Amino acid sequence: MTTDVERAVQDYLSHLSVERGLADNTLRSYRRDLRRYLDFVSARGIAEPAGIAENDISAFLASLRTGDPDHGVLGTASAARTIVAVRGLHRFLLREQVVATDVTAAIKPPRPAARLPKALPLSDIEAILDAAGSPGTTLSSRDRALLEVLYGTGARISEAVGLDVDDLDLADGSVLLRGKGGKQRIVPVGSYARQYLTDYLTASRPLLASVRTSTPAVFLNARGGRLSRQSAWTVLTKAAERAGIAADVSPHTLRHSFATHLLDGGADVRVVQELLGHASVTTTQIYTLVTVEKLREIYSTAHPRASR
C-alpha cells in the first residue's frame, strides 16, 4: 500500500522532471537518495509528510554517516547530496501546502573537511625554477623570471601576467599586484626574483617587444604580446616535467608553497594574509593547518614519548 509520504516523493520527482526539466542522470540520483529517505521514514512508522519532525531529519543525517543493515555508509559529498534532495522535497511540500512548516530549514548538509593546500618542498621549487631557466634562451629567461615572481610574491597567475612595467619598482624591491575585484596591493620582491626580472627586462624583453608595437606588459609571448594565463600555466607545467617533479603542479601550487614556507619560517598569519591579498584572515588560516600537520609529524617522530 502506497503511503502519503511515497506519493509526495513521486509528486516531487514528477515536478523535477516536468517543470524543472532535470536531466535523467540527475533524476536518477534524486530517486536513489529519496528512496533511502523513504526506507528510513517507513522504518520509523511515519506514513504522512506532516508526521515528519526535525529530529527525524537529524536522525536520517546521522544514519547516512553510520549506515544501517540495508544501506552503506555515505561519504561526505554523497551525504550532502542526499540531504539536498530531502530539503528540496520538504520545500516543495511547503510550497504545495502539503505541510505547514519546513522541518529541514535548520538542517545543514555536512561540509567536506577542509582540503589542505598542496605545498612543495623548497628543493622541488628550486628544481622547477632551475628547469625553467634552461637552456638560456630569450624565452627561458622570461620563464625563469615569471616563475620567480610567482613564487617570490605569492601572486595569482592572473596577477603575474597582468603586470605592466610601471608596476615594478625593482630599486625599492616591490611590485604592484592587481587582485580580485580591482583591489591592489604592493608586495616585496626578494633578491632572486629581482635579479632574474632585471636580467629578463634588460636582455630578453626588448627582443620580444621588437616583434610588434610595444606593449606595457612585463611578460611577453613570442609574438610580442602579453603572455596569457594559459601560456604561463604551460611554462610552469613544462618546467616541472623537466625537473622530474611527479606531483601535479599548477600556478596555485607556487602560491600555496609561498604561503606555507612563510608560515614555516615564522611569519605571522596576518602578514601572509596581506601578501596573498585575502580579504579575510579566515581564508589564510587554512595554511596554518599545513604547518600544524608538519609539527605533528615532527613531534611524533622526534619526541621519545610521543607514541608507544
> Strands, DSSP E only, in the chain?
168-169, 174-178, 184-188
299 is annotated as an active-site residue: no
Is 261 in the active site?
no
Active-site residue, 15 included? no
Distance CA(195)–CA(107), nearest Å, equals 55
Nearest-angstrom CA–CA distance, 111 and 303: 34
H or E segment to which residue 300 belongs: helix 286-302
**Per the residue annotation, which of 36, 87, 90, 255 is the catalytic one?**
255
Question: Is position 200 annotated as part of the catalytic site?
Answer: no
Q: How many CB atoms lie within 10 A of CB 138?
A: 16
Active site residue 156: yes
- Dist CA 140 CA 235 (whole Å): 9
- Per the residue annotation, which of 180, 212, 270, 296 is the catalytic one? 180
As a whole number of angstroms, the distance between CA 154 and CA 165 comes to 18
- Which of the following is catalytic: 156, 178, 205, 256? 156
Annotation marks residue 91 as catalytic: no
d(CA 21, CA 187): 49
State the catalytic residue, choosing from 36, 178, 256, 278.
Answer: 278
Catalytic residue among 108, 212, 252, 296: 252
Catalytic residue among 151, 196, 200, 287: 287
C-beta separation of 78 from 96 below 8 A: no
**Half-sphere CA count of 277, side-chain side, radius 13 A:** 19
Q: Could you list the active site residues?
A: 156, 180, 252, 255, 278, 287
